[in-house]
């Protein structure tokens, strides 16, 4: 048998940044395990990547909002005789109707998908990566995790902030093991994300075009950062400036500015 080809597990791979990361990794010769809730888009993407890049792309349909889903996902991969040499925690969604107006079940799903699942999947897969002396973990966070809080989408920023801090801690813990851990913090990116949560028209009107980035470019920057073993990367000059300002402004001013922006969104 030839040398083992490394395989990357990508959650939320059916569209958006997840699909862009799948294309980026396939273009670099990695085999893939693609997971999301929708089987149709996963199959189409797997067939596209196999045809264009000659890689193997397995799919596993899973809903990470379900308790026990991370364990079941890892078990399903093992049953197929496939191993995950790398992990991209990308699955996520948002509710923008306000904390008080959002169903508590949706809050619980957000926390399980974007916070609990990345923690559990990392804990399940990292020991074997360390034992083999090679691994890549890319956690797709957000510019929102580096900015002051906003009202309305109340949990999204704090969850992403947690993911950034957790990634930095894992980066420290895995130094010298051959495992790289990076938090990818994109700003506004052209994907299906805003179509799903119904905010596409609002955010497109509220933010100038220079603030938006293409998903393929975000994916390339993210994967190059994890290969280089950078603990965090924020694509785009404008987003880096915003992140720096977010850390420098006093809370009273930053919250006022973001609160005013949220009101503009509501009026659109």
Q: How many CA atoms lie within 13 A of 240 on its CB side?
A: 6
Quick count: other Cβ atoms within 10 Å of Cβ 135? Answer: 24
In order of 7, 38, 89, 151, the CA distances from 45 in angstroms are 16, 11, 18, 36
Tell me if residue 30 is catalytic. no
DSSP 8-state symbol, 49: H
What are the angstrom distances between the C-alpha of 180 and each of 8, 50, 86, 99, 160?
13, 26, 9, 35, 19
Catalytic residue among 156, 188, 190, 207: 156
- Report yes or no: 96 and 21 within 8 Å, Cβ to Cβ: no
- The C-alpha torsion from 34 through 90 and 95 to 157, rounded to 10°, is 170
Cα gap 177→92, rounded to integer Å: 29
Helix (H) or strand (E) holding 138: strand 135-140
Confirm if 49 and 23 have CB atoms less than 8 A apart.
yes
User: Residues with catalytic annotation?
Assistant: 156
């Amino acid at each position: 048998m030839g040398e083992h080809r490394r395989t990357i597990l990508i959650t939320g791979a059916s569209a958006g940044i997840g699909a862009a990361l799948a294309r980026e990794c396939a273009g670099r010769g990695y085999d893939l395990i693609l997971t999301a809730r929708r089987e149709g888009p996963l199959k189409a993407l797997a067939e596209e990547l196999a045809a264009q890049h000659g890689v193997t792309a397995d799919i596993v349909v899973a809903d990470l909002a379900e308790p026990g889903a991370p364990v079941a996902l890892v078990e399903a991969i093992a049953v197929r005789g496939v191993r995950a040499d790398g992990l991209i925690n990308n699955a996520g969604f948002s509710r923008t109707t306000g904390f008080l107006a959002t169903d508590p079940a949706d809050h619980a799903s957000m926390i399980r998908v974007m916070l609990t699942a990345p923690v559990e999947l990392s804990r399940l897969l990292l020991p074997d990566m360390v034992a083999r002396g090679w691994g890549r973990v890319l956690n797709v966070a957000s510019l929102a995790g580096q900015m002051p809080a906003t009202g309305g989408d109340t949990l999204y920023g704090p969850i992403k902030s947690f993911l950034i801090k957790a990634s930095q801690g894992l980066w420290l813990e895995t130094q010298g093991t051959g495992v790289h851990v990076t938090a990818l913090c994109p700003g506004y990116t052209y994907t299906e994300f805003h179509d799903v949560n119904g905010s596409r028209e609002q955010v497109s009107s509220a933010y100038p075009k220079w603030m938006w980035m293409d998903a393929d470019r975000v994916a390339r920057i993210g994967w190059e950062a994890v290969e280089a073993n950078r603990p965090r990367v924020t694509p785009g000059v404008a987003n880096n400036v915003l992140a720096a300002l977010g850390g420098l402004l006093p809370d009273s001013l930053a919250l006022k500015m973001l609160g005013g922006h949220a009101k503009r969104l509501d009026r659109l």
